[in-house]
Amino acid sequence: MPMKGRFAPSPTGRMHLGNVYSALLSWLSVRSQGGAWVLRIEDLDPQRSRRAFARQVEDDLRWLGLDWDEYYVQSERGEIYAHYLNILKEKGLTYPCYCTRADIMATQAPHESDGRIVYAGTCRPKRMEEAWLNVGAHPSSRQPATRIVVPDEEIGFVDGHYGAQSVNLARHCGDFVVQRADGAWAYQLAVVVDDALMGITEVVRGRDLLLSAPQQIYLYRLLGFEVPVFCHLPLLCNLEGQRLCKRDKSLDLGEIRKAGHSPESVIGKLAFYAGLTRRAEPVSASELVAEFSWQKVPSEDILIGPFFGETEA
Ligand code: GLU
């Protein structure tokens, strides 16, 4: 299979330096291996996604010199996700869940304080083959979400950047949502179906998604798809060690472009922070391809100060 990578933003506004950095590293990894790069707009959340945001991402990528070979929009792929969800349903692995967010929070053990929600299996039927029999007759008038049953076993993989990982899904997240109650497709299902059908062989993204990979590997296996290589990236953080936040306007590419900075100056600084160059000098993305190597990228999170000093515009 030819090497293929992707950038899969969920556009909810202008591109942010964190997105630029993920896009740049994924693009460099692909181009340095002579592979193809897919741009996939992950606009599955109807409340947050707008077409105009996707157009801005495209414009920003062109400005940065990060060209793509294939382009997809998730909101146009609902029938495909429905097909694969149905396969999981026919295998007897899914069930309707009527829990509200408040119900789920009420069943959380106090030590699960890192923001992670472990679903307690409240709606999991005793007999999975009867899971969908009485959907219309449920006392709740709510539409159900659809969850998938997870096994109580370790799922391991070797991350291309962070090495061996292993997660027990029953303890890490519990049965997880594959379709939301409002009908929206869940990220975990859509990302697996898309990466598999698009022939993606290398997934590069922030390490905040490192432990989503086992959930995805579980779905890859159930659907009979080949698992890609995962390469997670250290996060970009401010000097206090907090992950760069979208609300910080000075890190928004719209503001950076308005202030007159060049694409080469943005790429030069990010490449320097990512360990790819010795000095934060302006450079184009294509000039970095020949020298790109995963070995140069650190595994500790990357602390960055003010991105552009007052006098540098
Ligand atoms: N759409 C996801 C995000 O913007 C990234 C998905 C992925 O790379 O797997 O956070």
pLDDT digits (tens, 9 = 90+) for 25-57: 999 999 999 999 999 999 998 788 788 999 999
Q: Which of 7, 10, 204 to mutate to test the pocket of ligand 1 (most atoms within 8 A of CB)?
A: 10
Q: pLDDT exceeding 70 applies to what percent of the chain?
A: 96
Mean pLDDT, the chain, whole residue set: 92
**Confidence category of residue 313, pLDDT binned at 50, 70, 90:** very low
Q: What is the pLDDT of residue 110?
A: 52
Q: What is the pTM of this model?
A: 0.94
**Confidence category of residue 310, pLDDT binned at 50, 70, 90:** very low
Closest CA to 8 of 82, 79, 78, 68: 68
Distance 84 CA to ligand 1 centre (A): 20
DSSP state of 248: -
212 CA: nearest ligand 1 atom: 9
19 CA: nearest ligand 1 atom: 4
pLDDT one-digit tens code per residue, 148-179: 999 999 999 999 999 999 999 999 999 999 99
Q: For ligand 1, atom 7, which residue shows the shortest CA distance? A: 8
Query: In terms of DSSP bridges, do strands 176-179 and 236-237 run parallel, antiparallel, or are they unpaired?
Result: unpaired
Q: What is the pLDDT of residue 209?
A: 95
**Average pLDDT of the residues in 259-266:** 96
CB atoms closer than 10 angstroms to residue 206:
18
Whether 113 has a pLDDT exceeding 70, the answer reads no
42 CA: nearest ligand 1 atom: 1
Return the HEC string of 18-70.
Answer: HHHHHHHHHHHHHHHCCCEEEEEECCCCCCCCCHHHHHHHHHHHHHHCCCCCE
Task: Evaluate whether 94 touches 131 at the Cβ level (below 8 Å).
Answer: yes
pLDDT one-digit tens code per residue, 131-145: 999 887 777 778 999
CB atoms closer than 10 angstroms to residue 129:
8
Summarize the chain as % helix, strand, coil (round to 5): 40, 20, 45
271 Cβ closer than 6 Å to some ligand 1 atom: no
